[in-house]
Amino acid sequence: MSTIQQLKNFIRHGKQARAANFNEEPARKHDSAPQAPKSPVTTMPDSEPQLGQAPQVQPVNVYSEAPGDAQNRAAQAAHAAAHHVEPAQQVQNKTATKSKRVDESNLAKLIAEENASKSKFPRYPGLERWELVEKMGDGAFSNVYRAKDLQGDLGEVAIKVVRKYEMNNMQRSNILKEVQIMRQLDHPNIIKLVEFAESRQYYYIVLELAPGGELFHQIVRLTYFSEDLSRHVIVQVAKALEYLHEEKGVVHRDIKPENILFNPIPFVPSKVPKPKQPGDEDKVDEGEFIAGQGAGGIGQIKIADFGLSKIVWDNQTMTPCGTVGYTAPEIVKDERYSKSVDMWALGCVLYTLLCGFPPFYDESIEVLTEKVAKGQYTFLSPWWDEISKSAQDLISHLLTVDPEKRYTIREFLAHPWVQISGPTPMEEKKKPDFVLRAFDASKFEEAGKRYDFRSPGAVNLREVFDVGYAVHRQEEEGKRRQQFGVKGGQGKYLGGLNEEDEDEHHMEIDGQGGDQKPQHGTQSLEQSMRKTNIRDQEQARGRDRERANERGYGQHSAAITAAARQQVRDRNRQKGPFELNLGNATLLGKRGKKIPAMEA
Ligand SMILES: Nc1ncnc2c1ncn2[C@@H]1O[C@H](COP(=O)(O)OP(=O)(O)OP(=O)(O)O)[C@@H](O)[C@H]1O
């Protein structure tokens, strides 16, 4: 059996096993997002969180009150586990008799599932207004829940619960900056901030809900998108960037498929399914594209996660942020560099949507770093053969190494490929009628099995984006510093919200408040990669600093590589056993036998 086949089998096996674990999860609803009111900030009274409590062992007589109830079964199970007693022996009713036949391993599985699905949400002080319904995602210091408003008419929201107590001062202040930036934003393609509150141990960021979740999963599901669907998605991301760049003076700096969320729409099956391309065996039908609405169940796009974003100019005074009374050419250039990082990311996302694998990939992070830095990518045959030259032309203007030559958001939006609208109303008329199915969660969850967010291949795509973008951001900042002749720190003229982000003097290490000397090379990379273990990175940073000093300013790719490698290691460790790095097995494997990285 070939290595790729072995990997595929492994992934398939792993996916099945993990999908089975999700079968007991409550089905996701796909309601429309609530209207976000003005964003008050609330500080909750100090009270201890009830996190980490052992599940309560219920008295036996509680069980008979609601036989069959999931929580009750969980309680029975917890009781049984605590007392080494088979719960069926304790309960003299039909359910109990039935459960005698359940073998122990099944019971244990049931317990775990029930506990996971019902008792997993801690009661957070200050969040009483909301009923946590489902965990939708997580970050290094946070969990994101879908929640229902129990007291008002806000409907469903997403609540990001950030564990303050795990964060140092710099990380806390970055969260506050994120909220501060989000508070100023109001655009249909950007997740709105509904409310911000905090207790002693947590920040609560209440957000407009994007019920479809991450675009990332849809790439995994659909393998790649048609040009129409890709355009539908990328233009909305671009509209959000246009608003950020042109109206708000904000750069996002973390545009990637996992930060692009969406509202679902009804799936319209293809009347005439497209013939499968080589390597498309697993491709799911994306359905009919409806202009202005979308396809494949993907409707309105919403960008999220402003954790790395920053303000590059003040939209009140229309001046670069933090400067008073002058706007030197290099400041203008700096602003352009910052925005150009988002444009690079836009190119990476568009490339990935159209073909199903990222433009830059290599199993070796050293080589990946170099490919990103040099802009080495190709439109690989046969995967790109059917994709229009116009789309390729647009991508090549985005994946341009020189940020001054790279397309701006305006140039992007004026490109002919973007200007093409979907099928004209005339063409729409010619199509035979098709049945509009109501949105069906199973389309996204494949007959009740939710797509595994942590499949090795999926993680691999995340890593490629993370490493690629971070490397690129670092390169941009290197160029910027070279341009300004700045030797230490960066962006000192950027004030206000960006101060701490850019200020490397007060980096708290390991929660002990140790000060760091200003460093360049890896530091902004590390800051931009938030999911890092600062203590672990210290060693790498020390080595990187030495190397960077030896080689001189601007030649810091080894330092970037070491930090990027460390970041991937940390990330794998944090995400647990499912996040194995198995190379490009899933996403690239899905597109055929050859691996692009080996050909590029
Ligand atoms: N408004 C939302 N609607 C639906 N899902 C959301 C929303 N916000 C976040 N999520 C889910 O939670 C995940 C994590 O959210 P987010 O990226 O904002 O958190 P984070 O702590 O900043 O994560 P990271 O450390 O990866 O940046 C998202 O990728 C998404 O799956």
Whether 214 lines ligand 1, by a CB cut-off of 6 Å, is yes
pLDDT in tens, 137-181: 888 899 999 999 999 889 999 999 999 999 999 999 999 999 999
Flag whether pLDDT at 298 surpasses 90. Answer: yes
Whether 264 lines ligand 1, by a CB cut-off of 6 Å, is no
Average of per-residue pLDDT across 391-407:
95
Spacing, Cα 282 to ligand 1 middle (Å): 28
| Strand 250-251 relative to strand 213-214, pairing | unpaired
Q: Which of 228, 254, 362, 466 is catalytic?
A: 254
Flag whether pLDDT at 88 surpasses 90. Answer: no
**pLDDT reported for residue 366:** 84
**DSSP 8-state code for residue 246:** I
pLDDT in tens, 570-589: 443 333 322 222 223 334 44
Nearest residue (by CA) to ligand 1, atom 28, is 137
Flag whether pLDDT at 209 surpasses 90. Answer: yes
Mean pLDDT, all residues of the chain: 65
Whether 305 lines ligand 1, by a CB cut-off of 6 Å, is yes
Whether 240 lines ligand 1, by a CB cut-off of 6 Å, is no
**pLDDT reported for residue 233:** 97
Distance, in Å, from the CA atom of 28 to the CA atom of 575, rounded to the nearest integer, reads 23
Distance, in Å, from the CA atom of 377 to the CA atom of 244, rounded to the nearest integer, reads 28
Q: Looking at 75-84, 187-196, 574-583, which range is the least confident one?
A: 574-583
Whether 182 lines ligand 1, by a CB cut-off of 6 Å, is no
Q: Looking at 266-280, 332-346, 395-409, which range is the least confident one?
A: 266-280
Spacing, Cα 307 to ligand 1 middle (Å): 10
**pLDDT reported for residue 321:** 55
Spacing, Cα 588 to ligand 1 middle (Å): 25
Flag whether pLDDT at 539 surpasses 60. Answer: no
- Work out the pLDDT band at 338, boundaries 50, 70, 90: confident
**pLDDT reported for residue 470:** 67
Tell me the binding residues for ATP: 160, 208-210, 258-259, 305
| Strand 213-214 relative to strand 202-208, pairing | unpaired
Spacing, Cα 235 to ligand 1 middle (Å): 21
Average of per-residue pLDDT across 294-304:
95
Closest to 200 (Cα-Cα) out of 164, 167, 170: 164
Spacing, Cα 205 to ligand 1 middle (Å): 11
- Work out the pLDDT band at 597, boundaries 50, 70, 90: very low
User: Partners of 143 in the beta sheet?
Assistant: 138, 161
Distance, in Å, from the CA atom of 503 to the CA atom of 47, rounded to the nearest integer, reads 33
What tokens were used for 302?
A: 């919403």
Distance, in Å, from the CA atom of 467 to the CA atom of 372, rounded to the nearest integer, reads 9
**pLDDT reported for residue 284:** 83
Flag whether pLDDT at 65 surpasses 70. Answer: no
Whether 288 lines ligand 1, by a CB cut-off of 6 Å, is no
Q: Looking at 112-121, 270-279, 374-383, 445-454, which range is the least confident one?
A: 445-454
Task: Give the Cβ contact number of residue 474 at 10 Å.
Answer: 29
Whether 207 lines ligand 1, by a CB cut-off of 6 Å, is yes
DSSP string, 138-191: E-SSEEEEEEEESSSS--EEEEEEEEGGG--HHHHHHHHHHHHHHHT---TTBP
Whether 365 lines ligand 1, by a CB cut-off of 6 Å, is no
- Work out the pLDDT band at 15, boundaries 50, 70, 90: very low
**pLDDT reported for residue 270:** 85
Flag whether pLDDT at 434 surpasses 60. Answer: no
Nearest residue (by CA) to ligand 1, atom 30, is 137
Q: Looking at 68-72, 330-334, 592-596, which range is the least confident one?
A: 68-72
Q: Looking at 45-49, 137-141, 489-493, 587-591, which range is the least confident one?
A: 489-493
Average of per-residue pLDDT across 41-56:
40
Is position 254 annotated as part of the catalytic site?
Answer: yes
**pLDDT reported for residue 237:** 98
- Most confident stretch, 306-315, 333-342, 349-358: 349-358
Mark 160-196 as b/e (b = at least 16 C-beta within 10 Å): bbbbbeebbebbbbbbebbbbbbeebebebbbbbbbb
- Residue among 146, 259, 305 whose CB has most ligand 1 atoms within 8 A, to mutate: 305
- Work out the pLDDT band at 283, boundaries 50, 70, 90: confident
Of 561 and 546, which is predicted with more confidence? Answer: 561
**pLDDT reported for residue 302:** 98
**DSSP 8-state code for residue 290:** B
Average of per-residue pLDDT across 192-208:
96
Q: Looking at 95-99, 180-184, 252-256, which range is the least confident one?
A: 95-99
Q: Looking at 82-86, 293-297, 347-351, which range is the least confident one?
A: 82-86
Q: Looking at 32-41, 48-57, 399-408, 493-502, which range is the least confident one?
A: 48-57
Average of per-residue pLDDT across 218-241:
95
Whether 158 lines ligand 1, by a CB cut-off of 6 Å, is yes
Nearest residue (by CA) to ligand 1, atom 24, is 139
ipTM above 0.90, yes or no: yes
User: Partners of 261 in the beta sheet?
Assistant: 214, 302
Nearest residue (by CA) to ligand 1, atom 21, is 139
Q: Looking at 134-138, 163-167, 397-401, which range is the least confident one?
A: 134-138
Flag whether pLDDT at 254 surpasses 50. Answer: yes
Whether 161 lines ligand 1, by a CB cut-off of 6 Å, is no
Nearest residue (by CA) to ligand 1, atom 4, is 210
Closest to 64 (Cα-Cα) out of 28, 92, 25, 105: 92
- Residue among 144, 157, 204, 574 whose CB has most ligand 1 atoms within 8 A, to mutate: 144
**pLDDT reported for residue 140:** 87
Nearest residue (by CA) to ligand 1, atom 26, is 139
The ligand 1 atom at the shortest distance from the C-alpha of residue 258 is: 29
Task: Give the Cβ contact number of residue 85 at 10 Å.
Answer: 13
Flag whether pLDDT at 538 surpasses 50. Answer: no
The separation between CA 591 and the C-alpha centre of its own chain, rounded to angstroms, equals: 23
Flag whether pLDDT at 493 surpasses 70. Answer: no
